[in-house]
Amino acid sequence: MFYRNVDEGKVISQEEISDGIFSLWIKNEGANEAGAGQFVGVYPKDKSTLLMRPISICETDKEAGSMRLVYRVAGKGTKEFSSLKKDDTVKILANLGNGFPVDEVKGKCIVLMGGGIGIPPMLGTAKALFGEDVHSYLGYRNNDTFLSDEFLKYSKVYLASEDGSVGVKGNVLDALRASINVKPDVIMACGPMPMLRAIKKYAEENNIKAYISLEERMACGVGACLGCVCKTVKKDDHSHVNNTRICTEGPVFDATEVDI
């Protein structure tokens, strides 16, 4: 069972790596047990922003007992986080959700796909799969390709951009289609919903196993509030409805099991 507790994290460092996107390293006990694709809940100190903010784990340094959170400033809570400095403390609920099944896919041709702020958790996944046949496809709006250089340590890298300023013009699937020598057995992906829908469809049409990480607003992060449900293909054995909780049963799902 993964470590999960509300604990205090100590800030090691923070920097803005792109416009409005911050890379935050925190020393926290949860780092020792974190899996690729899991996330944490970070609590603002401002009492008017009561609920935790879910942020995916970008990567961990288990020897140092630290984790890296790469996030975009999107509101009052994340704006507060962006002001954190070295030696500041912050409350964290770690580790949450189910990650990518990295042990199950070893020995296969693995394609990782990340779009926008869905790119950070794919870096930790590439790191966990280092040494395997891994190809990372990263989608950006323009030539602001944050984190792309770091993927080169662990995998082959292919870029796509909406405006065509870098890599293939289009999205990550356009970049995959342009890579005629890459024949994936497995796709693992995180990004905006239109991207994930397209990947699910592509995987089904090409008989490829796909795992997708869904993003959703959350209140509790532990499955109690039912604020982050998504539709499933099969009925839940307990509730007998076609719903599941992204925070506990996800955020990573077998693409064939969810109706998106």
The predicted structure's pLDDT at residue 2: 46
The arithmetic mean of pLDDT across residues 113-139, rounded, is 97
Statement to judge: residues 106 and 184 lie in one domain? yes
Of 66, 96, 126, the domain-final residue: 96
pLDDT band at 241 (very low <50, low <70, confident <90, very high): confident
The arithmetic mean of pLDDT across residues 30-49, rounded, is 90
Statement to judge: residues 91 and 110 lie in one domain? no
Query: Residue 142 belongs to what domain range?
Result: 102-208
Statement to judge: residues 152 and 90 lie in one domain? no
Q: Which CATH number do you get for residue 121?
A: 3.40.50.80
Q: Which CATH number do you get for residue 32?
A: 2.40.30.10
Q: Which of 78, 64, 82 is nearest to 15 (CA)?
A: 82
Statement to judge: residues 69 and 114 lie in one domain? no
Q: What is the DSSP letter of 142?
A: S
Q: What is the DSSP letter of 225?
A: S
Would you tell me how many other CB atoms lie within 10 Å of the CB of residue 203?
21
Q: What is the DSSP letter of 66?
A: E
Statement to judge: residues 135 and 202 lie in one domain? yes
Angle at 172 between CA 167 and CA 176, to 5 degrees: 85
For the stretch 147-195, pLDDT in tens is 999 999 999 999 999 999 999 999 999 999 999 999 999 999 999 999 9
d(CA 71, CA 56): 8
What lies within 8 Å, CB to CB, of 258 at 6+ separation is 200, 212, 214, 230, 231, 232, 233, 244
Report DSSP letters for 22-52, one per residue: EEEEEE-GGGGT--TT-EEEEE-SSTTS-S-
pLDDT of 3 strictly over 50:
no
The predicted structure's pLDDT at residue 49: 75
Taking a C-beta distance cutoff of 8 angstroms, is the pair 72, 146 a contact?
no
The predicted structure's pLDDT at residue 236: 65
pLDDT band at 21 (very low <50, low <70, confident <90, very high): very high
Q: Which CATH number do you get for residue 246?
A: 2.10.240.10
Average pLDDT, the chain: 90
Of 63, 96, 129, the domain-final residue: 96
- Domain count of the fold of the chain: 3
